[in-house]
Chain A
Amino acid sequence: MARAPHVIGVDGGSVDPGPYYLGAGVPFCSVMAIRRDLRLMLRAAIAARIPLMIGTSGGAGGAPHLELTARLVREIAAEEGLHFRLALIEAEPPRVELQRRLAAGRIRPLGKQPPLTAEALDRASRVVGMMGPEPFMEALDNGAQVILAGRASDPAPWAAAAIRAQLPPAPAWYAGKMLECGATPSIPKGHDCLLVTVREDGVECEPMNPIRRCTPLSIANHSLHENSSPIHHIEPGGMLDTSDCRFDALSDRAVRISGMRWTPASQYTVKLEGVEFAGHRCISICGTRDPLLIARLPLFLEEVRGIVREKAAAFGVAPESYALIIRTYGLDGVMGAREPVQQVAGHEVGFVIEVIAETPEIAAAVLGIARTNMLHTDFPGRLCREGNMAFPFSPSDIPVGPVYRFSIHHVLELDNPCEIFPITYEEI
């Protein structure tokens, strides 16, 4: 804080941890960790009289995520005696509103997604819109000092601050790209703060932890992060073109990036993200140290699958009503069907046995059969007649809860960048 930043920003989430957190409405990070980080930032921002802006609050940016983050901020403010104007920007539009826009032809698929249907929109467990910087700018214009937003484009909070300070959009968006993962553009990679200075013609990055350094390689590496193209970055309202960027070391720990360009889009769009329920999961973890079993693993697993099919059918569960997946660590647990190595090289093999079914009861019942038969199914030459598998836990069967899948990955055309992101204000 001695470097007197003009804003503290956070990208609080991502689709990266998968569809569950958006679907279930729960945070990816623990409440203890979120509370700790919020307290540090609130104290610092209020003392320095600067804004604190958080995009994609609570990990996925849906209504429950925003409400959780707001509750923690109110509690911390009361404990610390902090006072400020709080803005909450919602990003989970009412479903009827999205249906109306779908019917008006304003929702288009992204990539190879099929066109969105009214049924898929209804079926979704939760749908969020990914806001750009404009709702943050509106909240700042209305005097908010702490801004908690639902789903937002990762760079949006910082782009908002820089654009509102009359800086051009290209370095403003680029600054956000560098800041969205904290100190990640530095080495050694770690999880703390990055200071970015935005200028008319470029940005300067420097990690605040003295053990880290930004180098042209560490910055170049981060510039490739999580984008399908390294040169064309589509954002709400335009495209950041980084084809002619230069990465120049300013010192042994700070880098200047210049040459980025911004091309405004003719139509303002925001991404819609939605997930739908896909069943309930139950898993069991075990491993084998038996070389005779490892030598005939594919046959053994096929036999177990056959027995599960037969026994589940015997209590009325048809094969098409569940998915049984036996993940084999030591063979292809990491790459699945893309694994080029087809032989186990190690002396032990780990398994995650997984069943997904419509109800938790069916998932647990089918998993129980699979677990028993992984443990006890005979095979030719078997010496380990008391059991094939080592189970590390009792209970061995773990209900994991609901499973979701990404079902909406589309863009919505907007006439006003703020129109589906209502803002409410509170005096804290």
Chain B
Amino acid sequence: MPSIRELARICKSKNAGPFDLTIDIVFDDTALYQKVRASGVITEALFARLYGVSADDVLLTPYDAAMAIKATFPRLVPAGGIGDTDVYGCQQHAPLLDVEIPV
């Protein structure tokens, strides 16, 4: 079964303000994007499991115009706070890469 690293053109994380992390998965083919969405794999529950947050704290927004799925949830530690590991939040995407999607 193909994984996100094989299907997506972009899979990235970044701060959305100092307290939230936002993750984008972007495709470059409408049919593929629709199939990924229809697979039901990319859900609030997926991010909750991979990142140890409550599903209620995950804001999941598909953005058809950009063939993208965005998920935003709280950072573990506010950016640059004591114990933060990633001030820009740009290296938190890796657990998604191996998520398999039946398309």
Contact = CB atoms under 8 A, between A and B. Distances in A.
A409 interface: yes
B64 to A, nearest CB: 8
A224 B19 contact: no
A406 B78 contact: yes
B2 interface: no
Contacts of A333: 85
Interface string B48-80: 001110000001010101111010101011111
B26 A19 contact: no
B20 A111 contact: yes
A247 interface: yes
Contacts of B20: 111, 228
Contacts of A225: 14
B100 interface: no
B24 A323 contact: no
B76 A336 contact: yes
Given A20-B80, A231-B61, A340-B95, A221 B51 contact: no
Interface string A254-281: 0000010000000000000000001100
Interface in B70-103: 70, 72, 74, 76-88, 91-92, 94-95
A15 B79 contact: yes
A323 B61 contact: no
Given A226-B16, A230-B61, A323 B83 contact: yes
A395 to B, nearest CB: 23
B82 A18 contact: no
Given A19-B80, A217-B28, A338-B76, A230 B85 contact: no
B97 to A, nearest CB: 11
B101 to A, nearest CB: 18
Given A243-B65, A335-B92, A221 B19 contact: no
Nearest to B9: A217
Contact of A406 (B59, B67, B81): B81
B82 A15 contact: no
Contacts of B78: 405-406
Contacts of A229: 59, 61, 70, 72
A111 B19 contact: yes
Interface string A216-258: 0100110111111111000000000011111100000000000
Contacts of B85: 327, 332-336
Nearest to B57: A112
Contact of A18 (B68, B79, B91, B94): B79
B51 A223 contact: no
A409 B61 contact: no
Contact of B17 (A223, A228, A405): A228
A356 B82 contact: yes
A323 B63 contact: no
A220 B28 CA distance: 10
A17 B79 CA distance: 8
Nearest to A227: B16
Contact of A220 (B15, B66, B83): B66
A338 B94 CA distance: 11
A403 interface: yes
Given A220-B67, A247-B66, A279 B80 contact: no
Contacts of B26: 217, 220-221, 224
A332 B83 CA distance: 12
A103 interface: no
A136 interface: no
B5 to A, nearest CB: 15
B65 A246 contact: yes
Contacts of A224: 22, 24, 26, 63, 66, 68, 70
A415 interface: no
Interface in B1-49: 9-10, 14-20, 22, 24, 26, 28
B82 A405 contact: yes
Nearest to A325: B83
Contacts of B9: 217
B18 A409 contact: yes
A226 B28 contact: no
Contacts of B92: 334-335, 338
A356 B82 CA distance: 8
Top 4 A-B pairs, shortest CB-CB distance: A18-B80, A220-B66, A230-B63, A228-B72
6 contacts: A18-B79, A217-B28, A228-B16, A245-B66, A404-B80, A406-B81
Interface of B: 9-10, 14-20, 22, 24, 26, 28, 50-52, 59, 61, 63, 65-68, 70, 72, 74, 76-88, 91-92, 94-95
